[in-house]
Structure 1
Amino acid sequence: MQYLVQPGGALRGRLRVPGDKSISHRAVILGALAEGVTEVRGLLEGADVLATIAAFRAMGVEIEGPREGWLRIHGVGLRGLQAPQAPLDCGNSGTAMRLLAGVLAGQPFASSLTGDESLQRRPMGRVIDPLQAMGARITSKEGRAPLQIEGATLHGIDYVLPMASAQVKSAILLAGLYAEGRTCVQEPAPTRDHSERMLRGFGYTLEQEPLRACLQGGGALQGQAIDVPADISSATFFLLGATIAPDSDLLLENVGINPTRTGVIEILTRMGARIDLTQLREVGGEPVADIRVRSAKLQGIDIPPRLVPLAIDEFPAIFVAAACAEGQTRVREAAELRVKESDRIAVMAAGLRSLGIKVEESADGALIHGGSLTGGTVDSHGDHRIAMSFAMAALRSQEPIQILDCENVATSFPTFPELARQAGLDLAQVNP
């Protein structure tokens, strides 16, 4: 699948992007491990979340749906999972693999986690190490998938994360549900806290201090009704497009604005974006707002390193914003970008250069020189966020942009082409 996006245009109107992927994953996981029924509305029906659903079905959990964002999960309790008969395929989802590793580490049966070629290149040592410290028996292919997990008795640990990672933090807390004693995780910087919020929402006692969360093993989760807000990571592409395209005025409805996820709003606002939050409210323990974004003239900035973990998934869009800004934008302390679905620093730098933008790479970031986008061909390397970011770049390009290898957009945002066209982007999907 390729995208061919014509230059120019504006984004206008009202949109609701799909449900938050991080919350959708966790709703499925905790719903399956809870006692009683969990009903989910607003679920993201992308390939990543479907992989998590399939994994729990393979372990004996009855799940109805999904249908138009609705899902009903008949929980089996923390001790009710059954041994899967085949490896659990996480597809392209690092979230599914790392969080499932935490759940499976404390089961009495053996299991295996695998994924597609891209996922098998991503580092899993960061989650294997703390789980092994808890007593898990996990073997891997030099710290990468597939992961072979044997049944084990776990014990609680007090773990200091070497780098900020919500996925690793969540995996440890999920394993802590099965551990004897107390499990604590200390972060070096804030990361998304959906797991902590949702554990409390399912009735589990969790102690929290700034940058620290603790729980005692052996409790129980109770089924809940979950309303998943729209995904700010998906909304980001429209924040970008409406900011860089002249005469744009777009309202994004019911977007989750968890403070551990709004780094992109702060970064774009520092660059000069006109982003207004209205109708602030709370839904299912998560803060939500409507977001209005209008065209703005951007200035390059030095992005504060403290904001990097709060916008880690949004940097492909931020790179495009930087390319459209006056002056230079510097990204530092973002080495995590090199081990996402692709090496996002290298792939974004190569794509921007092919469109006429000067980019200087460093080991942990880049210096982007704002300029004029010429148009041309960009290889997304199968990275969904890079494909969607470059699609929005065409709003400011002089010629069409062709984007290669876009199949994986379905992992996080299957309706992106439809919603982008609805808002005003001239995007065609091409099967070469």
Structure 2
Amino acid sequence: MSVVAVPGSKSVTARALFLAAAADSTTTLRRPLLSDDTDGFAQGLTALGYHVRRTPDTWRVTGRPAGPAVPEADVYCRDAATASRFLPALAAAGHGTYRFDASPQMRRRPVAPLTTALRQLGVDLSHDEADGHLPLTVNADGIKGGELDLDASLSSQFLTALLLTGPLTAEGLRINVTGLVSAPYVEITIAMMRAFGAEVARDGNALIVPPGGYRAADYAIEPDASTASYLFAAAALTGREVTVPGLGTNALQGDLAFVDVLGRMGARVDIGPDATTVCGTGRLAGVTANMRDISDTMPTLAAIAPFADGPVRIEDVYNTRVKECDRLEACATNLRRQGIRVETGRDWIEIHPGTPARAEIACHGDHRIAMSFGTAALRIPGGVTFDEPGCVKKTFPEFHEVFSALRRDWNL
């Protein structure tokens, strides 16, 4: 059995950085993820005047409930959707003029649901080029609060940004939500807000956040469940066994439910109090899986799907078309390049059994495409190559080294 320590959760680290910045004194974050996305988020806070002190295992953030410490700032969010969507909301609760821009890849991704909602709340902001996209300027003068409607069908991050901002408003928020995808990510947000002293109530499809701010905390970041999906898939694919410590029955992240899909396909799964183990059995069965709530793991399943003994159909994942790339199309194109029969629709993909050929994987600058097909390569003689191997730095900079070590340890 291999025991592999997974880096901290990107989603939890980003939320923790927001909460720490908004809290009433200094917060200590333990074992945060150090990757391009989280480094970009931390540097964004620094640009806004927050004090962030970092060591490899511990970050300390001095919060400012009144908002950014500087009256004007330019913030570059790199490829990070969390920074691009959370930081403008944080800045809007302060006072000053704040400009946000990002990479060409992130500029293509929408922010309109968030900016429309902020405008409903009276925030003065403008899209400097394409409407609904970065770059964006926020002329902040605090947020009164109130009631708003939000279509969360493209990403749960828009709802998270508003929820996180709720305690910073003068009157609180009532958010009427429709079309929510990736609902477990919202549960992460609510649990973490409570850990920092805020409250969130439910009324049907509405979420209600009273004002009151946040308390600083000493907060440990759990391992990233999306990253762990590659290790769990590797074990199921190769008939080996892997344990990821730190992800157990009390894990915040819904993406741990990916192991349930592997269990339905024939792997043995054990979720304990403090760790999760997946053991491959030498067989992967075909499956139909609704992955609306765990869509970040869709490429992981798609990449290993040809090794199943029947078709693998993944449904209700339209939102993966507006991630770092169109992930449905990227998976289909790469699988076809490997000689696999694939059909797709608006929000689904069906992959037929086959023997993937060695090929160069087109990553489209997307870390999850690279890591998913890198996982499947464990069963491909000669492996695969990547046109952009370095894109894994976004969330798991050590991916290639970790999987090379697994290949050696498992004699593959």
TM-score by length of 1: 0.87
Match of 1:223?
216
Answer yes or no: is the 8 Å Cα contact 1:373–1:398 preserved in 2: no
Which runs of structure 2 are paired with 1:80-159 in the superposition (5 Å)? 80-83=67-70, 85-140=72-127, 141-154=130-143, 155-159=145-149
Contact 2:48 / 2:69 at 8 angstroms: preserved in 1?
A: yes
> Aligned-pair distance for 1:310?
2.1
Change (3 A) 1:235 1:260: closer
Query: What is the letter of the counterpart of residue 60 of structure 2?
Result: R
Higher relative contact order, structure no. (Cα contacts within 8 Å, ≥ 6 residues apart): 1
**CA distance in structure 1 between the aligned counterparts of 2:289 and 2:388, rounded to whole angstroms:** 29
Secondary structure of the equivalent of 1:92?
coil
Q: CA deviation at 1:336?
A: 0.4
Which residue is equivalent to 1:5?
none
Does the C-alpha gap of structure 1 residues 425 and 237 become closer, same or farther in structure 2, counting only changes over 3 Å? farther
Match status 1:68 vs 2:61: no
Q: Offset at 1:404?
A: 1.3
User: 8 Å contact 1:113–1:146 — kept in the other structure?
Assistant: yes
What does residue 9 of structure 1 align with?
none
CA distance in 2, matches of 1:391, 1:425: 15
Aligned residue in 2 for 1:205: 199
Structure 2 match to 1:274: 268
Q: Which amino acid counterpart does residue 333 of structure 1 have in structure 2?
A: D
Q: Deviations over 1:89-121 (max 9, x none)?
A: 111110111111221222221111111111111
Instruction: Map Cα deviations across residues 212-247 of structure 1 (whole Å, 9 max, x no partner).
Output: 431123x1211100111111011011011111013x
Tell me the equivalent position of 2:284: 298
Once the 2 structures are TM-superposed, how far is the Cα of residue 85 of structure 1 from its aligned partner?
A: 4.8
Cα pair 2:339 2:356 within 8 Å, conserved: yes
| 3-state secondary structure, aligned to 1:367 | strand
Distance in 2 of aligned mates of 1:152 and 1:415: 42
Alignment length (residue pairs): 399
Residue of structure 2 in register with 1:417 after alignment: 400
**Paired AA for residue 166 in structure 1:** S
| Structure with greater strand percent | 1
Q: Which residue of 1 aligns with 2:373?
A: 390
What does 1:232-251 correspond to in 2, within 5 Å?
232-246=225-239, 248-251=240-243
- TM-score for both structures, normalised by structure 2: 0.91
Which residue of structure 2 lines up, in the alignment, with residue 195 of structure 1? 189
Q: Structure 1 245/16 Cα, relative in aligned 2: closer, same or farther at 3 Å? A: same
State the secondary structure of the residue aligned to 2:325. coil
Taking the aligned partners of 1:196 and 1:89, their CA distance within structure 2 comes to 27
Equivalence for 1:346: 329
Give the Cα–Cα distance (whole angstroms) in 2 for the partners of residues 118 and 148 of structure 1: 19
Q: Which blocks of at least 5 consecutive residues in structure 1 are unaligned?
A: 1-11, 281-288, 427-432
Q: Which protein is richer in helix relative to its size?
A: 2
The CA RMSD measured in Å over matched residues stands at: 2.0
Looking at structure 2, the residues matched to 196 and 335 of structure 1 have their Cα atoms a distance apart, in angstroms, of 24
2: CA distance between counterparts of 1:73 and 1:398?
47
Q: Which residue identity is paired with 2:102?
A: G
Structure 2 gap ranges (5+): none
